[in-house]
Structure 1
């Protein structure tokens, strides 16, 4: 190319070059994620990981099931005693009402 042609058409050449750069940037923006969005996603992922780390694991859940089973058994053992106490309470209330 002749330097005279470049000097004479510099504005057009520059405009075409910048248009090409803009098209490339547009294509890259559609293809790849922006750094800010990636950082936001990374922050959210770390938050989710820390939340999941705080959740009980399979062993903890199994231990809780065993403790609930034991508690159910203890409650079954207490049921007759509670019935007796309720019966005594009813009798005492009935006696108290008869005296008045």
Structure 2
């Protein structure tokens, strides 16, 4: 199943710099691994915000929840999830 996930990141300003650096490094490694697996298909930065819009391709709601709750930045995020369905007018075969 495909999902659009909007992640708005709100890292506390008083988070110690070394902790911030570590959590960001873990987040990058975790997200890139999911991208290599094909589960995190697309990620786009939202201009002017510390946010992204991503497309996930996972088996079901439970898998998506497990992935999102495993994000190192999860405690600092507001997340909105929208399930997606292939549009009948779509012409590409690789977007299902």
Common fold by TM > 0.5: no
Structure whose residues are more often helix by fraction: 1
Normalising to structure 1: TM-score of the pair?
0.27
Normalising to structure 2: TM-score of the pair?
0.28
Structure whose residues are more often strand by fraction: 2
The structure that has the greater radius of gyration is 1
